[in-house]
């Protein structure tokens, strides 16, 4: 619920800034615990506050209740505003670097006066960190690596953010030119996990109307006089709009979608047929433009069937199209449901019934519940007794014939040695096996760890296989070829974690998994009802990895094994 999320965010930030300020650790812990409790609370906080019952929530005392009431009434508590005013504004940015927690950031600030990423990089390069306790050469090198990673991704955005910017741009264009055509192009349409800009191609927009219309949405919108407008969406995503004549739309959107290698291969085929594809225009031998009002027109003119945009990477798709062997890629309509869904039994924010109802609203016929296992104490992981009780509740619901069909599962931590944190003698339909700790093992140890996990075989799904967080954290070092070979041998599946901050397994490895016959599970890793819709992003990555419906577990009727 919105009130719960707002209050939890305020308490979480207050806990973080309080720790940076060196306040009482018991107070910091109480604020952090309260944030988690509020986020999991199943009711609307405004109603609870109006009844004066906030202190009835476990972990919420009188003081924290007052902070919640301030947040609900004013947007943010005064204590949070005060801390922001006294702490250097750059400190929270340091916390975004892998390996730096509040205690280390406070130490850097208090001992060396470091308050920004730039100051930290300089201090690392001058070896100043070596003067601090707990900051050896290896730590300093890792911090420098984290800074360089952040710099390399500073102009990138998640695919979900890019789609949002593009769709809002489309809405404006369709408003000002209802009889025209407007479609998303670029990296967003190719479903790249991270994007540098959102591109939209349109027709039939009066040049005089284009810039004023887009200026309502985009900051710093400017036109170049050729029908192109650029600006920046409120999310930070650069947006580029290309307006072309109706007869040029097909060529323009192919050209603006790319990739570069795909376009080079199309240009070569066009040339062999006496045509020239360059600069977004298809021309004949006399230099006259060959009109292509739709993409399929362009592909047909150079002797190819239409190629789905997700696979336009110049990596064999043109040859496959020419030979008539393009795969029939999985689509959202093929998905019957999903596993890897959390509830309030662990760290989700909605009950089992609420998640099931949300799945029913999506038209799903099955939903796999996978709350955390016991070792994940931070996520209120389930022991055998609680997991068995959840399974009985699922069985009772299924026995009443309610839809969707609920599957009994668990997200079991893969322990450091590759064993799974599984309670014995509890019936389960599937296990999502995931790494949540010991990220820094050697390549050999991490590979052996995951091989042991997937060797459990059928019924096992390797969750977010590399542990990466897009634009925030690289995955752990592992030989995925060896892991996928082991999964193929045992019958285990691998997940495309569909959360837009993960999209893990990477699409390049999805294609390899498909080639090996490893089943793919598209899992939303949903912690709230809205999170189920993230399956959209997972389907895009599956398509980019050349997966068909038969390759995807949750596009098949249950049972799967």
Q: Where are the alpha helices (DSSP H) in 351-504?
A: 352-361, 384-399, 443-454, 480-490
**Beta strand ranges found along 28-71 (DSSP E):** none
**Superfamily of structural domain 332-555:** Metal-dependent hydrolases (3.20.20.140)
- Output the pTM of the full model: 0.83
Residue-wise DSSP of 309-346: GGG-SSSSHHHHHHTT----B--GGG--EEEEE--TTT
Backbone angles phi, psi at 382, to 5 degrees: -85, 135
pLDDT digits (tens, 9 = 90+) for 497-526: 999 999 999 999 999 999 999 999 999 999
| 273 CB-near residues (< 8 Å, 6+ apart) | 301, 302, 303
Q: How much is the pLDDT for 549? A: 98
Q: Which CATH superfamily is domain 158-322 in?
A: Beta Polymerase, domain 2 (3.30.460.10)
pLDDT number for residue 131: 81
228-232, strands of its sheet edge to edge:
182-185, 198-203, 238-244, 228-232, 219-223
Q: Chain-wide mean pLDDT for the chain?
A: 93
**CATH code for the domain defined by 2-152:** 1.10.150.110
How do the domains of the chain map onto residue ranges? 2-152, 158-322, 332-555
The rounded percent of the chain whose pLDDT value lies above 90 is: 72
Question: Does residue 382 sit in helix, strand or coil?
Answer: strand
Cα distance between residue 324 and residue 417, in whole Å: 46
Provide the pLDDT confidence category of residue 40 given band limits of 50, 70 and 90: confident
- pLDDT surpasses 80 at 380: yes
pLDDT digits (tens, 9 = 90+) for 243-301: 999 999 999 999 999 999 999 999 999 999 999 999 999 999 999 999 999 999 999 99
Alpha-carbon dihedral of residues 370, 373, 379, 385, nearest 10 degrees?
A: 100
| Residues 413, 373 contacting (CB under 8 angstroms) | yes
In this predicted structure, the answer to whether residue 1 has a pLDDT above a threshold of 70 is no
């Amino acid at each position: 619920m919105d009130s719960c999320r707002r209050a939890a965010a305020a308490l979480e930030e207050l806990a973080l800034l309080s720790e940076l300020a060196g306040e009482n650790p018991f107070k910091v812990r109480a604020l952090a615990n309260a944030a988690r409790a509020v986020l999991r609370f199943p009711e609307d906080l405004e109603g609870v506050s109006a009844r004066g019952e906030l202190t009835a929530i476990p972990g919420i005392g009188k003081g924290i209740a007052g902070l919640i009431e301030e947040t609900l009434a004013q947007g943010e508590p005064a204590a949070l505003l005060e801390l922001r005013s006294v702490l250097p504004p750059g400190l929270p940015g340091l916390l975004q670097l892998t390996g730096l927690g509040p205690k280390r950031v406070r130490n850097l600030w208090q001992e060396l006066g470091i308050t920004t990423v730039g100051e930290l990089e300089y201090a690392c390069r001058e070896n100043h960190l070596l003067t601090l306790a707990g900051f050896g050469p290896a730590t300093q090198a890792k911090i420098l690596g984290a800074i360089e990673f952040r710099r390399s991704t500073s102009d990138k955005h998640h695919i979900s953010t890019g789609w949002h910017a593009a769709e809002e741009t489309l809405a404006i264009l369709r408003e000002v030119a209802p009889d025209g055509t407007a479609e998303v192009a670029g990296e967003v349409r190719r479903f790249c996990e991270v994007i540098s800009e959102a591109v939209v191609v349109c027709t039939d927009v009066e040049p005089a109307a284009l810039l004023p219309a887009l200026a309502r949405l985009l900051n710093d919108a400017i036109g170049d006089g050729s029908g192109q407008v650029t600006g920046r969406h409120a999310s930070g995503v650069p947006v580029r709009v290309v307006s072309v004549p109706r007869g040029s739309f097909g060529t323009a959107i192919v050209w603006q979608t790319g990739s570069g290698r795909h376009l080079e291969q199309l240009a070569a085929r066009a040339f062999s047929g006496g045509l020239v594809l360059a600069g977004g225009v298809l021309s004949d031998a006399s230099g006259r433009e060959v009109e292509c009002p739709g993409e399929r027109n362009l592909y047909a003119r150079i002797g190819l069937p239409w190629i789905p945009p997700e696979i336009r990477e110049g990596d064999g798709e043109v040859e496959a199209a020419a030979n008539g062997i393009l795969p029939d890629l999985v689509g959202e309509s093929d998905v019957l449901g999903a596993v890897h869904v959390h509830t309030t039994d662990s760290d989700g924010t909605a009950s089992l019934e609420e998640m099931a109802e949300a799945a029913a609203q999506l038209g799903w016929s099955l939903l796999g519940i996978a709350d955390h296992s016991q070792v994940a104490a931070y996520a209120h992981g389930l022991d055998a007794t609680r997991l068995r009780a959840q399974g009985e509740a699922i069985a009772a619901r299924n026995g009443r014939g309610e839809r969707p069909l609920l599957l009994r599962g668990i997200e079991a931590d893969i322990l450091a040695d590759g064993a799974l944190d599984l309670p014995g003698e509890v019936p389960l339909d599937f296990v999502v096996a995931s790494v949540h700790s010991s990220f820094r093992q050697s390549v050999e140890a991490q590979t052996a760890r995951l091989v042991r996990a997937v060797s459990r075989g059928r019924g096992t799904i390797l969750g977010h296989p590399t542990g990466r967080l897009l634009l925030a954290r690289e995955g752990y070092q592992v030989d995925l070829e060896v892991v996928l070979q082991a999964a193929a041998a045992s019958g285990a599946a691998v997940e495309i974690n569909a959360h837009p901050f993960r999209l893990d397994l990477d699409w390049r490895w999805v294609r390899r998994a498909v080639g090996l016959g490893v089943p793919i599970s598209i899992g939303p890793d949903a912690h709230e009802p809205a999170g189920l819709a993230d399956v959209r992003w997972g389907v895009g990555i599956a398509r980019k990895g050349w997966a068909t419906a038969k390759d995807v577990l949750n596009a098949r009727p249950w049972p799967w094994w």
